[in-house]
Amino acid sequence: MASANDLSAPQVISALAMALRRLHQVPTEKCPFDHPLQQRMAAARNRVSAGLVDESDFDDERLGRTAEDVFLELLSTLPETYDLAVTHGDACLPNFMVEASRFTGYIDCGRLGISDIYQDLALAARSIERNLGPAWVAPFFREYGVEPDQQRIAFYCLLDEFY
């Protein structure tokens, strides 16, 4: 959807919020893939230990830091609350298909599974900020129907640095 030049920003926001709400409403018992945070944290730790984290690909605010240092920051920011649902896992704009301003499908579902909804909302917010501008993040959360939890947004964007 990031390259959908024929869509206005409000259309993108509406389609993305609807697509995520629809996915997050799927009953978790129907999803065979579970991605508990403990498992994702262990995988991130293993990637750091194995030297598999691309430090040159960190977001701008973390460039120049080591993967170990960023992982320690991650440990200090663990969220206290979780809203488990079926999540996409990499909810950036290019991973959603639209046709005639209507959501039509998901792409790159390798991380799909049961997780905190902020796994998706955080990466969606980051993608919106990068592709549409920061002014569109608040309308996205309004359209989705939740107040943004800045701590969880920051945490899940930080966790994404390890994948």
Q: pLDDT by residue (tens digit) across 130-159?
A: 999 999 999 999 999 999 999 999 999 999
* pLDDT for the residue numbered 100: 83
Res 1: pLDDT: 79
pTM, to two decimals? 0.94
Model pLDDT for residues 51-62, shown as the tens digit of each residue: 999 999 999 999
Give me the DSSP letters along 62-90. Answer: GTT--HHHHHHHHHTT--S---EEEE-S-
Quick one: pLDDT at residue 3?
A: 59
Distance CA 11, CA 140 (A): 11
Supply the pLDDT for residue 2. Answer: 56
The number of beta carbons lying within 10 Å of the beta carbon of residue 104 is 11
**The CATH number of domain 9-160, selected from 3.30.565.10, 3.40.50.970, 1.10.287.3240, 3.90.1200.10:** 3.90.1200.10
**43 pLDDT more than 60:** yes
Output the pLDDT for position 49: 98
Residues 123, 104: Cα–Cα separation, whole Å:
20
For residue 112, the model assigns a pLDDT of 97
pLDDT given at position 113: 98
> Average model confidence (pLDDT) for the chain?
95
List of residues 6+ apart from 14 with CB closer than 8 A: 143
What is the Cα Rg of the chain in Å? 16
The Cα-based distances of 19 to 119, 122, 141 in angstroms read: 14, 15, 13
20 and 93 in contact (C-beta within 8 Å)?
no
- Write out pLDDT tens, residues 83-142: 999 999 999 999 999 988 889 999 999 999 999 999 999 999 999 999 999 999 999 999
**Count of beta carbons in the 10 Å neighbourhood of residue 11:** 16
- Domains of the chain by residue range: 9-160
Both tokens of residue 16? 């993305």
Which active-site residues does the annotation give? 90
CB atoms within 10 A of CB 128: 25
